[in-house]
Amino acid sequence: MKRWKSFFGISSLIWILLILFVFTEAFLRLFAAPSEMWDHIARYVLSDVIINTILLVSVSSFLASFIGFLAAYIVTVYDFKGRKIFSLLLYLPLAIPPYIASYIFSHMLGYTGIIQTFLRNQWNISVNPNWFTYSAMQMGIFVFTITLFPYVYITAKGYMQKYLGNYLETARTLQRSHGNILLTIALPLATPAIFAGFTLIALEVLSDFGVVMYLGIPAFSSAIYRSWISLGDFDSALRLSAILMIFVVALLLYQHRMRKPHSISIHTRIRPLKRIRLTGISEGFIVMFFVILLMISLLIPVSQLLLWANVSYANIRWNQFGEMLFNTLTLSTGVSIVIVLIALLIANYTRLSKSWLAVLSSKITLLGYSIPGSVVAMLVIFFFVTLKQVIPINTHTTLTMLIFGLILRYLGLGYQNIESGMRKIGLKFNEASRLLGKNYGQSLIHVDLPLLIPSLFAAFALVFIDVIKELPLTLNLRPFNYHTLATQVYQYASDERVVESAIPSLIIIAISALLLWQVIRWIIKEDN
Amino acid sequence: MKRLLIFVAVALTVLTGCAFKSEANRQVNVYSARNYDVDKDMFAAFEAETGIKVNLIEGKGDELLERINREKADSVADVFLTVGAEHIFFAQQNDLLQDLNTSAISNFMIENLYGKNWVAITRRARVIVYDKTRITNPTIQRYEDLMNAQYNGKLLVRSATSSYNIALLAAMIQREGIEKATAWAAGIVNNFARTPTGNDRDQAKSAVAGLGDYAIMNTYYITTMSVSSDAEEVSVAAKLGVIYPKNTHVNISWAAIVKGSKNSAEAQQLIEYLLAKQQQTIYTQQNGEFPIRDDVAPSDLIQSWGSFETEDIDYEQLGSFVIEAVKIFDQVKWQ
């Protein structure tokens, strides 16, 4: 019996130790004497970076969470024309990588962009270009908001669908107003779910590099990169990363404390939600809201890419495309499956063991997700250089290093999803199973796993769409002659050939969207 | 469940197994920060001509260099190809490069463009551009002229995080000293048309749009814009006038053999191949870079901008001024 429990414990701890080992180099930096550059960074760079990062992360996470929650609430509680299709389409903006969105919108508003070009060429109107200027911060917030709001949409919707039913009926019986229900019942109830999505958004914005670098926002990730690349001071870069990691762990532990254990799922019977049918102006208003939201976050960026694809397909090399597609699909699928399995082990361990060690390990899984990928890449390379002295591993002809790095980076994302799925189920079924004589392993496989399947698929899909667009690790840790669609996007974009990067970008988006679409539809069916 | 496990097993085998296919007898491992189609074509041609297999990892120059540094004890890379002379200093300081056989190249290389363990393969100039349909008689002759009060609110340039700007300022420090370079950077910031955003091409477009009058950009992007898939970019490129300032900043793309290379003969062979006339012609015609030998003419577009006087700097030392350059950018608040 106990053997299984220690199996989960030990296998989880091995992973946690591995993660910690990779990050040791960064943490040690905090205790070493600062380099001479550190003074300069602390004096001229740090305060700006902290202010800008806080602004960017908080405003975009807040706006994205607001939109995500509102959209989730409306499709959960109301019925209106197109509800079903809207509720599915709202997942898809997640398929658009933020850095690609930043190229698209900057270009569209620019001089050669579709708006100004159209006015100039069709109507011969040369508009004042100042009308289309924006600050880098505004553009950054906009891009993160429209690409990341589905994180909260997903978490909040799943949660409200399950638990809002009971309260809603009562509230309606008490004749509470629409606004009142939204603010005093749905919002507090969904807060843990919103916060889970909010955390993912915040972490994604914190670790983003492509958007802030292109737009020129002095954020943490660009400062880390700058101290390393421009100042040639990798030590300071690691020190900055370590500070960032401490900040992130503190945030996560705080989030953990905020989350009260929910036992609704076990005690109350879940009552199906009866949606309120909207008509007339209110229906038109809601439909308009979704149409505009989806136009900005999905239709416009994809149409722009299609236009670019149309003019650039003759100018790009196609000879390796099949291989790239194959590499992209196998890598993303393989890594996502492995992450789901490891995350399942760790989540099961932290669920069964309530010790502080378990809580801390659960947070450590998110470390890799919180700091810039290029720093993670260098830490992984260093880890393997050290490891190679003990075990002969071929890092240049196999995918070992890349797969390890990607797991390290996205384990937390998979873990978050599986853990929240496990919390929804609670421990009752597992305990009952063990009372009936099954061991921990059997209980996990026969009792929890079937109930968890929707969460496992959701975790798989979310990890997959992150891995498929991932850049710094893929670029730095891949073996010789290994190209993916994302590295192809990088090749064109780094050469400022944004138009030529449209086709590989579109394929990445199409694969991600297709997967999300299938998985979501499947989960919805399963849930019903 | 069983099917899932089988699938995982198959996926893992595929993932780890098929990354590497055949191992040719002779090969050369290249870490390249030159992510261009032209380069890939050249490697393919080299393979076909010599039978030496080129294994390629592409990435960002600084990251690749950091990787080479970390792999020092057991080096895998043979050739390092990158953009930006400022990295030579780091590479030499950390003893990452192996001596080249320079006797084979010294007869045709332009002076200053190679050292004992590195060699330039192309050059790029950082110039001032403007909309020639709008501004007919630009009077700017030096980078320093951009500091004049008459250009207040007229200058477009990308952020200080760009390695091109860092190299430009580092070269200025090397040539003129810290004080003058600081005054210059402060003067430019003073005349900004807007807070720096976007890349080099965006600066050119904004100049044509009229958001500012003069933009600092690399010549190389004018060529690539002129053959862009986007017709609007092509028309922007056609409107651009080029000013070569006195002491025009010219940076290089360079190659070196990595210390501890296990295929150094093949590495030398590949580098010499890239320096040959035919390849130099392709670099300038297709990629808009300046050749590194006098007997290859720059592309027609480049020639149409006229001739210029290159700054005289020591590329090996350029990197030692980078830290000062970044500090200056921070001090004058060039974001």
Q: What is the token pair recorded at B273?
A: 């191949």
Higher pLDDT: A230 or B324? It is B324
A chain contacts of residue B19, beta-carbon cutoff 8 Å: 397-399, 479, 482
pLDDT-wise least confident of A10-19, A455-464, B165-174, B298-307: A10-19
- Could you tell me if A110 and B201 are in contact, meaning their C-beta atoms sit under 8 angstroms apart? no
- Give the distance from residue B101's alpha carbon to the nearest chain A alpha carbon, in angstroms: 26
Mean per-residue pLDDT, B212-239: 92
Pick from A228, A231, A385: CB nearest B70: A385
Nearest to B175 by CA among B321, B297, B69: B321
Residue B4: per-residue pLDDT: 53
What pLDDT, on the 0 to 100 scale, is given for residue B281? 96
Q: Predicted confidence band at A104 (pLDDT cuts at 50, 70, 90)?
A: very high
As a whole-number percent, the residues of chain A with pLDDT over 70 amount to: 96
Asked if residue A511 has pLDDT above 80, the reply is yes
Neighboring chain B residues of A456 at a CB cutoff of 8 Å: none
Find the range with the poorest average confidence among A32-41, B176-185, B227-236.
A32-41
Banded model confidence at residue A260, pLDDT cuts 50, 70, 90: low
pLDDT of B18 above 80: no
- Please report residues of B whose CB lies closer than 8 A to that of A399: 15-16, 19
Range of the domain at B234: 124-249+308-331
CB contact under 8 A, B36 and A495: yes
Q: Is the predicted pLDDT of residue A126 greater than 80, yes or no?
A: no
- d(CA B251, CA B171) in angstroms, rounded, equals 9
B17 within some domain: no
- 3-state SS, residue A105: helix
Q: Which residues of A touch B35 (CB under 8 A)?
A: 490-491, 494-495
Query: Which CATH number goes with the domain that contains B129?
Result: 3.40.190.10
- The reply to whether residue B66 touches residue A378, judged by beta carbons under 8 angstroms, is yes
Cβ contacts below 8 Å, chain A against chain B, sum to: 177
Residue A72 lies in a domain: no
Q: Kindly state whether B133 is in contact with chain A, defined as any CB-CB distance less than 8 angstroms.
A: no
Tally the domains of chain B: 2
Nearest-by-Cβ selection for A497 from B11, B198, B224: B224
Tokens 């305990």 appear where?
A431
The answer to whether B229 contacts A231, with C-beta atoms less than 8 Å apart, is no
Asked if residues B158 and B199 have their Cβ atoms less than 8 Å apart, the reply is yes
Would the pLDDT of B34 be above 60? yes
* Statement: residue A269 has pLDDT above 60: no
Closest CB to B56 among A222, A226, A481 = A481
Contact A239, A34 (CB under 8 A): yes
Are residues B231 and B312 located together in one domain of the fold?
yes
**B29 or B66, higher pLDDT:** B29
Helices (H) and strands (E) in chain B, counts: 14, 9
B74 contacts in chain A (CB < 8 Å): 385, 388
pLDDT of residue A301: 95
- Is residue B13 in a domain? no
CA distance A229 to chain B (A): 6
Contact residues, chain B, for A116 at CB < 8 Å: 209
A179 belongs to a structural domain: no
Cα separation, A436 vs A500, whole angstroms = 61
Angstrom distance (rounded) from CA A142 to CA A121: 28
Instruction: Test A135 with B195 for CB contact under 8 angstroms.
Output: yes
How far away is chain B from the Cα of A418, in angstroms, using its nearest Cα? 17
Q: What pLDDT score does B19 carry?
A: 44
Instruction: Scan residues 101-130 of B and list those with Cβ closer than 8 Å to A.
Output: none
Q: What are phi and psi of B32, to 5 degrees?
A: -125, 135
Is A232 close to B29, i.e. CB distance below 8 A?
no
The C-alpha atoms of residue B246 and residue B237 are separated, in whole angstroms, by 23
Look up tokens 């004589």; give the residue. A437
What is the DSSP track for A420-479? HHHHHH-SHHHHHHHHTT--HHHIIIIIIHHHHHHHHHHHHHHHHHHHHH--HHHHHH--
Rg (alpha carbons) of chain B, rounded to whole number: 22
| B314 backbone dihedrals φ, ψ, rounded to 5° | -95, 105
What mean pLDDT value characterizes chain A? Answer: 85
Nearest Cα neighbor of A94 from A136, A54, A62, A64 is A64
Sign of CA dihedral A161, A166, A167, A172: positive
Indicate whether B177 and B268 sit together in one domain: no
B306 vs A127: which has the higher pLDDT? B306
Q: Tell me if B292 is assigned to some domain.
A: yes
A226 touches chain B (CB under 8 A): yes
Which CATH number fits the domain that encloses residue A359?
Answer: 1.10.3720.10
For B234, counting Cβ atoms within 10 Å of its Cβ (0-12 exposed, 13-18 middle, 19+ buried), the class is middle
Kindly report which listed range (A25-39, A308-322, B297-311) carries the lowest average pLDDT score: A25-39
Closest residue in B to A231 (Cα–Cα): B323
| Pair B112, B69 in one domain | yes
Q: Mutation target for B interface from A40, A52, A56, A111: give the one with most B CBs within 10 A.
A: A111
Please give the tally of structural domains in chain A: 1
Q: If pLDDT is split at 50, 70 and 90, which confidence band does A234 have?
A: confident
Nearest CA in chain B to A501: B229
Give residue B24's pLDDT. Answer: 47
Contact B198 A215 (CB under 8 A): yes
Structure tokens at B15: 């993932």
Q: Do the Cβ atoms of B11 and A337 come within 8 Å?
A: yes
- Pair A243, A34: CB distance under 8 Å: no
Judging by DSSP bridges, how do beta strands B79-83 and B119-131 pair with one another?
A: unpaired
Q: With an 8 Å Cβ cutoff, is B229 touching chain A?
A: yes
The answer to whether residue A114 is domain-embedded is no
Identity of the amino acid at B332 = V
* For the ranges A319-323, B7-11, B175-179, the one whose mean pLDDT is highest: B175-179
Please tell me which of the candidates A133, A331, A397 has its beta carbon nearest to residue B20.
A397
* DSSP assigned state of B215: E
Q: Is B5 on the interface with A (CB under 8 A)?
A: no
Same domain for B260 and B237: no
Is B2 part of the contact surface with chain A (CB cutoff 8 Å)? no
State what percent of residues in chain A have pLDDT above 90: 30
Q: What is the pLDDT of residue A47?
A: 86
Residues of B in contact with A214 (CB under 8 A): 198-199
User: Does the residue A452 lie in any domain?
Assistant: yes
Among the residue ranges A38-42, A350-354, B54-58, B103-107, the one predicted with the least confidence is A350-354
Q: Is B74 exposed, middle or buried (0-12, 13-18, 19+ CB in 10 A)?
A: exposed
Q: Is the pLDDT of residue B14 over 60?
A: no
Question: Is A353 within 8 Å of chain B by CB?
Answer: no
Range of the domain at A498: 1-33+316-528
Minimal Cα distance from B72: which residue of A? A385
Interface of B with A in 244-283 (CB under 8 A): none
Dihedrals φ, ψ of B27, to 5°? -150, 165
Whether A367 shows a pLDDT value over 90: the answer reads: no
pLDDT of A216 reads 82
- The tally of CA atoms less than 13 A away on the side-chain side of residue A31 is 4
B144 in the same domain as B117: no
| Whether residue B16 has pLDDT greater than 60 | no
Q: Give, rounded to a whole angstrom, the gap between the first and last alpha carbons of chain A.
A: 34
Lowest-confidence region among A18-27, A49-58, A400-409, A503-512: A18-27
- Specify whether the CB–CB gap between A208 and A56 falls below 8 A: no
Return the residue in B194, B330, B331 with the most chain A beta carbons within 10 A, the one to mutate for interface testing.
B330
Chain A, window 355-384: residues with a beta carbon less than 8 angstroms from a chain B beta carbon: 374, 377-378, 381-382
Which residues in chain B (38-57) have CB-CB distances under 8 A to chain A?
Answer: 40, 55-57
Q: Are residues B179 and B216 in the same domain?
A: yes
Q: Other CB atoms closer than 10 Å to residue B211's CB: what's the count?
A: 23
pLDDT value of position B30: 96
In a domain, A284, yes or no: no
Read off the pLDDT of each residue in A175-204 and give the average, rounded to a whole number.
85
For residue A444, the model assigns a pLDDT of 80
Average pLDDT over residues A224-241: 78
pLDDT at A512 over 90: yes
B152 in a structural domain: yes
Residue-averaged pLDDT of chain B: 90
Q: Are A94 and A287 in contact (CB under 8 A)?
A: no
**Same domain, yes or no: B104 and B236:** no
Task: Check B16 against A398: CB less than 8 A apart.
Answer: yes
pLDDT of residue B17: 46
pLDDT of the residue at A270: 61
B57 with A222: Cβ contact below 8 A: no
pLDDT of residue A264: 47
Residue B20 lies in a domain: no
Do residues B202 and B241 both lie within one domain? Answer: yes
Which of B47, B69, B76, B232 would best serve as a mutation to test chain A binding (most A beta carbons within 10 A)? B232
The Cα–Cα gap between A166 and A181 comes to 12
What single string gives the DSSP state of each residue in B83-144?
A: E-THHHHHHHHTT-EE---GGGTTTTBPTTSB-SS-EEEEEEEEEEEEETTT-S-----SGG
Q: What residues of chain A lie within 8 A of the CB of B199, using their CB?
A: 214, 496
pLDDT in tens, A299-340: 999 999 999 999 988 888 888 889 999 999 999 999 999 999
Q: Which pLDDT score is estimated for A152?
A: 94
> To 5 degrees, how large is the angle CA A426–CA A427–CA A431?
155
For residue A283, is pLDDT > 80? yes
B89 and B59 assigned to the same domain = yes
At B245-276, the pLDDT tens digits run 999 999 999 999 999 999 999 999 999 999 99
B253: chain A residues, CB-CB within 8 Å: none
How large is the average pLDDT for residues B37-45? 93
Q: Which residue has the tokens 């390990």?
A: A361
Q: Do residue B326 and residue A317 have CB atoms under 8 angstroms apart?
A: no
pLDDT at position B2 over 70: no
Q: What is the pLDDT of residue B110?
A: 84
| Chain B stretch 71-100, residues whose beta carbon is closer than 8 A to a beta carbon of chain A | 71, 73-74, 76, 90
CB contact under 8 A, B15 and A311: no
Q: Which of these, A204, A206, A239, A201, lies nearest to A220 by C-alpha position?
A: A206
